Amino acid sequence: MPLSVPTLPEGIDPAWLPPDAFRPLGERRTSIRGSGPFVETVHGEVAEACEQFGGEVVRGAGTGTSHDLVLCQGDDDLGDEGFTYERADGTTTVTASGRRGLLYGLFHVVRLGEKAFRGACPREAHRPAVALRMLDHWDNVAVHPVMGQVERGYAGGSLFWRDGRSRGEWQRVRAYGRLLAACGINAVSVNNVNVHETEAHLLTDRIGEVAGIAGVLRPYGIRTHLSVTFAAPVVLGGLPTADPLDEAVRAWWAEAAARVYAAIPDFGGFVVKADSEGQPGPFTYGRSHADGANMLAAALAPHGGTVHWRAFVYDHHQDWRDRTTDRARAAYDHFAPLDGEFADNAVLQVKHGPMDFQVREPVSPVLGAMPRTRLAVEVQATQEYTGQQRHVCWLGPMWSEVLRFRPEGEGGVAVGESARGGLVAVSNVGDDPFWTGHPLAQANLYTFGRLAWQPVADPHRILDEWIALSFPSAPQRLATGLRTLLHGSWRTYEKYTAPLGVGFMVQPGHHYGPSVDGYEYSPWGTYHFADRDGVGVDRSAATGTGYAAQYAKPWAEVYESPATCPDELLLFFHHVPYGHVLHSGKTVIQHIYDTHFEGVAEAEEARRVWAGLAGLVDPARHARGAERYEEQLRSAREWRDQINSYFFRKSGVPDERGRLIH
């Protein structure tokens, strides 16, 4: 029988699935043909829409009048998630051979809206370019004394956990799974990669709570994954060691995996942060990361599971006086020599940049250096360093640049094409009524899902999809205003924060707001080396840390010299004088002044545009956005004044336009 559509608790924003988005479908006659759990999910969605808007849904071919839409199982070989779409003779037909394809086909029709029922369209085949499209939740089961219920979460508490136990609010979790399916996400890791003692028990005596979440997400095609601690055999099993080559340890993991799959037959696998920022790992036992990952892969292999092994490994006890040590080099130095040594069901999960989700970084050289290893690209939707969902910073253009980057140069394979292990985003969702804190931050989650499905897609077209779904029947002024607010928001944020790729000029710990020297003398390896003569990190092969040489020749040559390095990455790769002339024709110091004044002006204009949309946006949404824009503008001014004053005092060079610098 059809699965009912989840009911949102009162006051919870519908995000990109408001009832009106289903109006074109719900006003028509639909035939659903096939059987199985996902067909019942589809049936429930169509039945709900028809009940609201006066249409009709029938099972099978039906009799009498023709159908406006046919959703059916067929024989096309498009895998588990693919579907075909066509419109002829007044009927729109979606056919899927796999289990989840019909679900994705339905949401394709919803995205098209009225266009799905007009004119003719020859048969199109749709299938995801990337098999695994996952969100990593950094949710803690127990409230952490420093990081709270969600580490680096900016949208309230966890959807899954509260005060040490499962929340059990299944309607909200089901609604979340529905939102994810509608943008193409098919996997979720439900707990923090920093696994504390309480979270460790989810693997064993508390696996039933994970099974509850998995059962609620399953009807929308979402597989559940779990972050585990590498030291679990010691922490949970009482063994004296977690050595990945120890037979007792391997047996313990095999038994643990078997118990997990007994509780969750379609369990996706483990996510592991090891030998990173204090988390235990194979280095303790003189073993490699391939040894550690392969041990877990062997435990998961009989059940079809995958281990996602994060490549975020570096020295976080660095001596700031030592300019030969470079955190940016670390992932490549650790992992590139291991290419070809990882098991087939082990995925190396690599951050898109070499540092840590800064507003501007080069693409990680690891993504072009390990052709014999399944790599997953990890991005961060939660905006840790890009405004924490208090600032509007739509990240679609950044992610698109990464996914289109060709590590071998022109003619080579793009990152999005080579990500055989999947695309992963750190979740930006919490129990906030708007899911993401700032209503406009929903665009980041939607955009990630759609780019993960099709990495070559135009992010601006995806943004238009999000606007059309989230604001059905929006007048042109509203759609235009939303595009204005979001299209350039990443570059606006970059303008009033850290310049030219230098990064990490943030308050230590919580990472919100400016502190130019906040990490400059710390052990974290996050330096800008500004002095009276210049600024930036020399990462050249000739005179610096050698990081530039980790890239294939075309890019190594581009990044090696200040003369060829792109302006936006200049200070990431080079230490240059304040009077160095950029390709733009400006000096570095004048660029810093100009962009910070421009960024604040653009933030002021964005606040004005949002205020002008007050009568066109739901009052609660608009009030939350207005509150956040006030904070964004306050913070942008603080960034401008601190950055400009700092570099004026360092350089002694005045602003050529004579503006106020404190």
Could you tell me if 454 and 503 lie in one domain?
Answer: no
Catalytic, out of 51, 124, 266, 277: 277
* Residue 121, H or E segment: strand 121-126
- Answer whether residue 112 shows pLDDT above 90: yes
Look up the CATH number of the domain holding residue 41. Answer: 3.30.379.10
Distance CA 557, CA 132 (A): 34
- Answer whether residue 584 shows pLDDT above 80: yes
Tell me whether residue 555 is in a domain. no
Which residues face 29 on adjacent strands? 56
Could you tell me if 295 and 313 lie in one domain?
Answer: yes
Could you tell me if 501 and 365 lie in one domain?
Answer: no
Catalytic, out of 384, 431, 465, 538: 384
Domain end, chosen from 97, 126, 155, is at 126
Q: Give pLDDT tens digits for 401-432.
A: 999 999 999 999 999 999 999 999 999 999 99
Tell me whether residue 641 is in a domain. yes
Could you tell me if 278 and 203 lie in one domain?
Answer: yes
In which band, very low, low, confident or very high, does the pLDDT at 147 lie, cut at 50, 70 and 90?
very high
Q: Which of 375, 214, 358 lies closest to 308, judged by CA?
A: 375
Q: What is residue 60's predicted lDDT score, i.e. its pLDDT?
A: 85
Q: Give pLDDT tens digits for 55-101.
A: 999 998 766 578 999 999 987 789 999 999 999 999 999 999 888 99
DSSP per-residue letters across 306-375? EEEEE-----SS--TT-TT--GGGHHHHHHGGGTT-S-TTEEEEEESSSSSS-SS-PPPGGGGT-TTSEE
**Active site annotation includes 384:** yes
Tell me whether residue 268 is in a domain. yes
Look up the CATH number of the domain holding residue 637. Answer: 3.90.1330.10
Phi, psi for residue 19 in degrees, rounded to 5: -55, -40
Q: Domain span at residue 395?
A: 133-470
**Active site annotation includes 169:** no
Q: What is residue 63's predicted lDDT score, i.e. its pLDDT?
A: 60
Q: Give pLDDT tens digits for 248-260.
A: 999 999 999 999 9
Q: What is residue 135's predicted lDDT score, i.e. its pLDDT?
A: 98
Domain end, chosen from 436, 470, 504, is at 470
The maximal CA–CA distance of the chain, rounded, in angstroms, is 83
User: Which has more pLDDT, 97 or 38?
Assistant: 38
Could you tell me if 52 and 100 lie in one domain?
Answer: yes
Could you tell me if 111 and 188 lie in one domain?
Answer: no
Q: What is residue 320's predicted lDDT score, i.e. its pLDDT?
A: 95
Could you tell me if 249 and 321 lie in one domain?
Answer: yes
Could you tell me if 80 and 31 lie in one domain?
Answer: yes
Burial class (CB in 10 A: 0-12, 13-18, 19+), 293: buried
Distance CA 662, CA 644 (A): 8
Domain end, chosen from 470, 502, 519, is at 470
Could you tell me if 643 and 592 lie in one domain?
Answer: yes
Average pLDDT rounded to a whole number, residues 448-460: 98
Distance CA 638, CA 603 (A): 12
**Domain count along the chain:** 3
Tell me whether residue 161 is in a domain. yes
Tell me whether residue 488 is in a domain. no
On the CB side of 605, CA atoms within 13 Å amount to 14
Distance CA 599, CA 602 (A): 5
Could you tell me if 121 and 233 lie in one domain?
Answer: no
Q: Give pLDDT tens digits for 302-341.
A: 999 999 999 999 999 999 999 999 999 999 999 999 999 9
Angle between helices 489-496 and 396-404 (to 10 degrees): 100
Distance CA 474, CA 478 (A): 6
Distance CA 125, CA 106 (A): 14
- Interacting residues of 285 by C-beta distance below 8 A, sequence separation 6+: 241, 242, 243, 244, 245
Tell me whether residue 554 is in a domain. no
Tell me whether residue 542 is in a domain. no
Q: Please report where in the chains the tokens 């700031």 appear, as a residue.
A: 320
Give the chain's mean pLDDT: 97
Could you tell me if 166 and 281 lie in one domain?
Answer: yes
**Active site annotation includes 277:** yes
Tell me whether residue 427 is in a domain. yes
Q: Please report where in the chains the tokens 């570096």 appear, as a residue.
A: 314
Question: Is the backbone of residue 38 left (phi > 0), alpha (psi -120 to 50) or beta?
Answer: alpha
Average pLDDT rounded to a whole number, residues 6-31: 97
Look up the CATH number of the domain holding residue 402. Answer: 3.20.20.80
Q: What is residue 471's predicted lDDT score, i.e. its pLDDT?
A: 97
Share of the chain above pLDDT 70, in %: 99
In which band, very low, low, confident or very high, does the pLDDT at 452 lie, cut at 50, 70 and 90?
very high
Distance CA 481, CA 396 (A): 18
| Per-residue burial over 327-353, b = 16 or more CB atoms within 10 Å of its CB, e = otherwise | bbbbbbebbbebbebbbebbbbbbbbb
Amino acid at 471: F
On the CB side of 93, CA atoms within 13 Å amount to 16
Could you tell me if 292 and 194 lie in one domain?
Answer: yes
Q: Give pLDDT tens digits for 259-279.
A: 999 999 999 999 999 999 999
